[in-house]
Amino acid sequence: MGRRRRRRVDPADAARALPEAIAVLTRTLPTGPSPETFRRAKFDRPEAAPALWRLLFCVLSPMPADGASPSLALEAQARSVKAALRFQGYPRRALAQLPDDGSQGGRELLLALAWLLARGPTLEQLLAQSRVRLGDEMPVCECESLASPGPAVPSVEADGCVDTRHLQWLMGKLRFRWRKLMASQQEQCALLGKIHSYTRGCHSDRSLGHLSVTETELLRDPEGGQQDTVLGACPPEASQPAFLPEIPAQGAAELELVVRELQALQEELQAAVEPRRAAWEARVGGHGPEWSASRRALQEAVRQDLVALQWAWERGGGLTQPHEPHRLVRTEAGAPEGRGLQATEVIEVLRSREACLEVVLGQLQGQCQQELARLVGTLPGLIWIPPPGR
């Protein structure tokens, strides 16, 4: 627990730099408290405490892009801040002992803020959230869309008849939406391509070479409609490409939680599986060579499926880049490879994933057909004419 040796900074310099730093922080931080609030917090004045609690709440809980999170009461925010700091490993007990009503603790909170800023990429994350993204962004992974719950499944009445025509209608709508989506994505690509090739050579950053749509708009119409961005206030490294923050320490804490939950679930499942398996085997019974042969065949089939799944996952999951969207950059043929992902790599990965999904789709469709045929067989007097294959 020794104190880290730092370069010796002349206290006078530090004192002079501080107001400027506070001023920048004020502009940068969401719900930026005024420099006066910072000063009062330093002297632990109670009127500064709520502002600091709110500030820490914003810093610690990532805001959704559209700022749509409902505003919590100060008390709830204070408790949330304490919990979050605890997760992050904040050492000072004095903060944990502050009252929940958010009426005190300006100084402790300042210390906590400083701790956060010093230890992790907090400031960069905040900037990343609130700044205008200059590049033409292309999502690289599907994690977000896979994790989202999707639209609500329309409920079917308990014994309601479903008119097949309605289902066919919906299916057709889905197909049309798909085709429209393809067309509009092609349009987007065509237009991006035009802008990228027209603005070749215009970018100050040689590794990028051309402008993005946003940058072109900014050049065309510097006043128009863009909010006063943080980057605008920052020193002129504004032509830097998209800033990819590292995986935040916060993520690690949540991951920790999820891991523990999964372990608990696994134990639960194992405990539940054993008696069921025993009961099943007792019911199915059967010994003898025929039974054990078919059982081995089943086990082998399952093993192969698992191997295929794993292989597909590892191949498909080959992208080791972080999951944030990437900036789209167009290079000339024959130019040296730039940093970042190559489009060909991504296409390759997507194609192999597509192939896997097609196989799965085919299997599922086959299963559906079999199930339908079986169901139809149980209805007397019904003739099943499957549609002609395309």
Partner 1 sequence: MSIVTVQLGQCGNQIGFEVFDALFSDSHCPQKFCSKRENEAYQASCKERFFSEEEDGVPVARAVLVDMEPKVINQTLSKAAHSGRWKYGQHSHLCQKQGSGNNWAYGYSVHGPRHEESIMNLIQKEVEKCDSLSGFFIVMSMAGGTGSGLGAFLTQNLQDQYSNSLKMNQIIWPYGTGEVIVQNYNSILTLSHLYRSSDALLVHENDAVHKICAKLMNIKQISFRDINQVLAHQLGSVFQPTYSGEGSFHYRRNPLGDLMEDLVPHPEFKMLGVRNIPQMSENSLAYSTFTWAGLLKHLRQMLISNAKMEEGIDWQVRPPLSGLPTLGKMPLSKELHFNTSIANLVILRGKDVHSADLGAFKDPALYTSWLEPVTAFNVWKTQRAFSKYEKSAALVSNSQSLVKPLDMIVGKAWNMFASKAYLHQYTKFGIEEEDFLDGFALLEQVIASYSNL
Where on the chain is the footprint of partner 1 (CB under 8 A)?
163, 165-166, 168-173, 175-177, 179-180, 182-184, 186-187, 190-191, 194
CB of 383 to partner 1, least distance (A): 16
CB of 388 to partner 1, least distance (A): 10
Beta carbon nearer to partner 1, 173 or 200: 173
Closest CA to 318 of 139, 136, 140, 138: 140
User: What SS3 class is residue 248?
Assistant: coil
Closest CA to 363 of 313, 309, 318, 317: 309
CB 5 within 8 A of CB 69: no
User: What SS3 class is residue 137?
Assistant: strand
Return the number of other C-beta atoms located less than 10 Å from residue 46's C-beta: 13
Cβ-in-10-Å burial (0-12, 13-18, 19+) of 196 comes to buried
**Rounded to 5 degrees, what are φ and ψ at 116?**
-60, -45
CB of 176 to partner 1, least distance (A): 4
CB of 219 to partner 1, least distance (A): 22
Beta carbon nearer to partner 1, 160 or 334: 160
Beta carbon nearer to partner 1, 171 or 272: 171
CB of 183 to partner 1, least distance (A): 6
- Which amino acid, residue 322? P
Beta carbon nearer to partner 1, 119 or 173: 173
Two structure tokens written together for 191:
């237009």
Query: Which CA distances in Å does 189 have to 195, 198, 213?
Result: 10, 14, 12
Beta carbon nearer to partner 1, 4 or 390: 390
How many whole angstroms separate alpha carbon 135 and alpha carbon 203? 12
Angle between helix axes 74-88 and 49-60 (nearest 10 degrees) is 50
Query: Which CA distances in Å does 170 have to 115, 273, 358, 386?
Result: 55, 40, 22, 19
User: What SS3 class is residue 326?
Assistant: strand
Closest CA to 211 of 126, 129, 135: 135
How many whole angstroms separate alpha carbon 113 and alpha carbon 105? 12
Beta carbon nearer to partner 1, 169 or 313: 169
CB of 221 to partner 1, least distance (A): 15
Beta carbon nearer to partner 1, 160 or 336: 160
Beta carbon nearer to partner 1, 187 or 256: 187
CB of 105 to partner 1, least distance (A): 46
How many whole angstroms separate alpha carbon 79 and alpha carbon 95? 11
Beta carbon nearer to partner 1, 92 or 177: 177
CB of 225 to partner 1, least distance (A): 14
CB of 390 to partner 1, least distance (A): 10
